Every structure is written in C-alpha cells, then in structure tokens.
Amino acid sequence: MYDYLIVGAGLFGSIFAYEANKAGKKVLVIDKRDHLAGNVYTENVDGINVHKYGAHIFHTSNKEVWDYVNQFAEFNRYTNAPVARYKDELYNLPFNMNTFSKMWNVKTPAEAKAKIEEQVKEAGITEPKNLEEQAISMVGQDIYEKLIKGYTGKQWGKECKDLPSFIIKRLPVRFVYDDNYFNDKYQGIPEGGYTQIVEKMLDGIEVRLGEDFFDKRSEYENIAEKIVFTGMIDEYYDYCYGELEYRSLRFETEELDVENYQGNAVVNYTEYEIPYTRIIEHKHFEFLCQGANEESIPKTVITKEYPATWTKGDEPYYPMNDDKNNALYAKYKELADKEEKVIFGGRLGMYKYFDMHNVVAEALDCVRTEIG
Ligand code: FAD
Ligand code: UDP
C-alpha cells in the first residue's frame, strides 16, 4: 500500500512525488508513456538536446519558482526571440519596434503608435470581444493579417473571431527595440535538457512506465491512500458530461547534415497555406549560450510542428479554454471538489493552458496544502 499513487510523470506529478517522498511518504508514480518528464521530455541526439514535444523555454517572474527549478539544473541565459516568416518577408517577434519598423518603415514609437491607432480606428473596434478584435486593437490590421490570422487559424483550427482574446494576450507588445518573447524577470533553458530535472526529482521513487491508469483502473484505485491524477479530467470521469475540446500536434523531426539550418531556435510560419506553425532548430537553445558554436557539431536537428484536430486517443497538447469548454470543465471540477481520495493537477487535470512555471507553482501549492 502506498500513501500516494501519482498518475503522470510530467512536471506536476514529479514535483508532487519529490516533495511527498521528502516528507517520508510512500509514493508510486505511473505514466503511460515509455519515458519520464511528460511534455518537457528532452532526448540527446548526437550531442543536441531535442525537445521532443516542442520548444520549451522556462520563464517566470516568481523567484521561488525560479530558485526551485534551479536546484535541479543549471539554466543558461537563452532568451527566446522568434522570427516570423510570412511569404518572403521576415519579421521579429514579439510585436515590438523591430516588427513595426519592418512592417511600416516607421522609426519612432510615436510613429508606430499612430499607425496602430489609425488602423484600429479604421476597423471600428472599441471593446474587443474576440481574438481577432483583440489582436487588431493591440497591433493594427496589417500585423494581424500577416503575422496572426494565418498562424492562429491553423494552430487552433478555428477562425480568430471564434477564439478567446486571452490567447493573443500571451504575447507582449512593446514600443522598444527588444525581441525578447517574454516579459518575465527570469528565463533560460536547463543545460543538458529537461529530462535530468525529472530524473533527479524521481530518484529513489518507484516509477512504472508504459502503465495506463485506465487499463488497470480497479487495481490502481486501491493501491494507495490517495491519487494525484495529472491526466485528462474528463477521461477520469468517463466523459460523463461530454468531451472537453483539446488541440493536438504532430511533430516531424529530421537530422540534417548542415551546421546551422535557420539561424534561430524558433522560426514561425505565419501564412495559413504552410501546414506547420513553426520550425524548431534545437541546437540553438543551448549552444551559443554555453560558449560552444554551431561548427562544433556539423549536424543539426529540426522539428516541424503541425497542429492537428484532437480526437480520443490523440495526445491532448492544448486545452481549448473558451467559454463553452470552461463551463464544461466547471462541471467536472464540481465532481473533483467532492473527491476525498483524488487530487487533480497539471495542464490536463486542471484543464488550463499552463506554462511550466504555472505548473511548478500549482504543484508546490498543492503538495503544501496536502502534506504541509
Ligand atoms: P504533462 O507534461 O502533460 O504530463 C502529464 C503526464 O501524464 C504525461 O506524461 C502523460 O503521459 C501522463 N498521463 C496522462 N494520462 C495518463 C494515464 N491515463 N495513465 C498514465 N499516465 C498518464 N511551457 C513553458 O513554460 N514554456 C514553453 O516554451 C512551453 N512550450 C510548450 C510547447 C508545446 C508544444 C506544448 C504542448 C506545451 C508547452 N509548454 C511550455 C507547456 C508545458 O509543456 C506544460 O505546462 C507542462 O509540461 C505541463 O506539465 P504537466 O505535468 O501538467 O503535464
Ligand atoms: N501567435 C500568432 N503568431 C505568431 C505567434 C503566436 O498569431 O507568430 C498567436 C497564436 O494564436 C498562438 C498565441 O499567439 O496560439 C500564443 O502564442 P505562444 O507562442 O504563446 O503559443 P504556444 O508556444 O503556447 O503554442
């Protein structure tokens, strides 16, 4: 008998397991995948740490969260600065003076602001009610058309006017020449990848990989005093109120005999007609930040990220947090709140578009409330 069965060896489950184990609890972790670390999993391919489930850049303004993850790895000084490619044009992201000056040949913040104001006025938007209106009111019609409309349409499989505004509010808009994708105080990539972090957290803890909770539900329900469940909450309740919507992805990874394929870790393809949203070149996450250069390995690994419709059995990479799905989740949450034995956590258990730093904070909160 265990004190805790933890379903999911991603960040949430692993932090809970680490803290519970430290507090003397007997813990069992299971994961249906054949590896640890959930979506932050990285794998070393010929000296390059490959982010198997898409680019993962750690960023936070929460010092406690930053210090917490730094116990398990040394983070480099990587700053995310994606480039957006629209047809033959290249633009810097997030939306900043470099983007504005390339788009409109403006030079000062006042000129850029005037251009945006003029376009917002033309569009007649006063109170943005959806992602399209929110985007136009932040950066104007031209940037919306070239850098947001196509990318967002393929990423979510819906038109911008049918999507919630919060998705685009994730991106900064700034009137300085600064391409840092995040506003957070701390940012970096763990030297040597993310998997080692989870390996250290789970060191000395019993872990069973390739085990799906639902394949042996009755056994696993009775194996521990309590369950921490980080899979899909609607699946846990056998979709009794209906299915929550998710968005899936397909990753296509290739190793190429070139030193430097695209000159940046992340290049977004913002036109609708190209079926992938971005190409990640993994070596750029770590090489220059650690003093090595691209030539030290004459190869590179790239991943194309294709958005995909989610149907049962696919990987649910993104929750679709619009009003309809949030209302459905609230019904599942009511059931969850009545559970005495089960705690739901993480991106799928709590059905929230969490970044890693949110998950670390949630997991620490949860384990403290639970164990003290
Ligand atoms: P997960 O990592 O999904 O872990 C859940 C685990 O539970 C999985 O391993 C799964 O196999 C297992 N599981 C599920 N159901 C069962 C079951 N029935 N039985 C057994 N095991 C089960 N965040 C950032 O901060 N920065 C970024 O740059 C960033 N980029 C991202 C890019 C992409 C493409 C994606 C999809 C996410 C990105 N994120 C990023 C978010 C980040 O991945 C998540 O916040 C974090 O990994 C969530 O951790 P988790 O433990 O909640 O979930
Ligand atoms: N987005 C966009 N164009 C871009 C990059 C992002 O329109 O070049 C929009 C898109 O809707 C995306 C959202 O901004 O889903 C948030 O972007 P982020 O990079 O945070 O997405 P994630 O890395 O979580 O997929």
Q: Which residue is catalytic, options 68, 241, 276, 353?
A: 353
The CB of 136 under 6 Å from ligand 2? The reply is no
Compute the distance between CA of residue 298 and CA of residue 309 in angstroms, rounded to an integer: 36
| Tokens 């419709």, residue located | 309
Both structure tokens of 92: 């810097």
How many alpha carbons fall within 13 Å on the CB side of residue 364?
Answer: 13
174 among known catalytic residues: yes
pLDDT one-digit tens code per residue, 282-323? 999 998 888 888 888 999 999 999 999 999 999 999 999 999
355 among known catalytic residues: yes
Compute the distance between CA of residue 218 and CA of residue 291 in angstroms, rounded to an integer: 52
3-state SS assignment for residue 256: strand
Nearest 5°: the CA angle 336, 339, 342 is 85
pLDDT one-digit tens code per residue, 88-109? 999 999 999 999 999 999 999 9
The CB of 168 under 6 Å from ligand 2? The reply is yes
The CB of 83 under 6 Å from ligand 2? The reply is no
pLDDT of residue 289: 82
Average pLDDT of each block of 10 consecutive residues along the chain (372 residues)?
A: 98 98 98 98 96 98 98 97 98 98 98 98 95 98 98 98 97 98 98 97 98 98 98 98 98 97 97 98 92 87 98 96 97 98 98 98 98 90
Closest residue by Cα to atom 20, ligand 2, is 170
34's CB contacts (< 8 A; 6+ apart) are 209, 210
Test site for ligand 1: of 15, 32, 33, 39, most ligand atoms within 8 A of the Cβ: 39
Q: Which residue is catalytic, options 246, 278, 347, 351?
A: 278
Per-residue DSSP letters for 297-347?
A: SS-EEEEEEEEEE--TTS---EE--SHHHHHHHHHHHHHHHH-SSEEE-HH
Q: Which residue is catalytic, options 19, 281, 305, 362?
A: 305
Q: Is the peptide bond before 94 cis (omega within 30 degrees of 0)?
A: yes
278 among known catalytic residues: yes
pLDDT of residue 176: 98
Ligand 2 center to 152 CA (angstroms): 7
Q: Which amino acid is at 354?
A: F
pLDDT one-digit tens code per residue, 224-244? 999 999 999 999 999 999 999
pLDDT of residue 292: 83
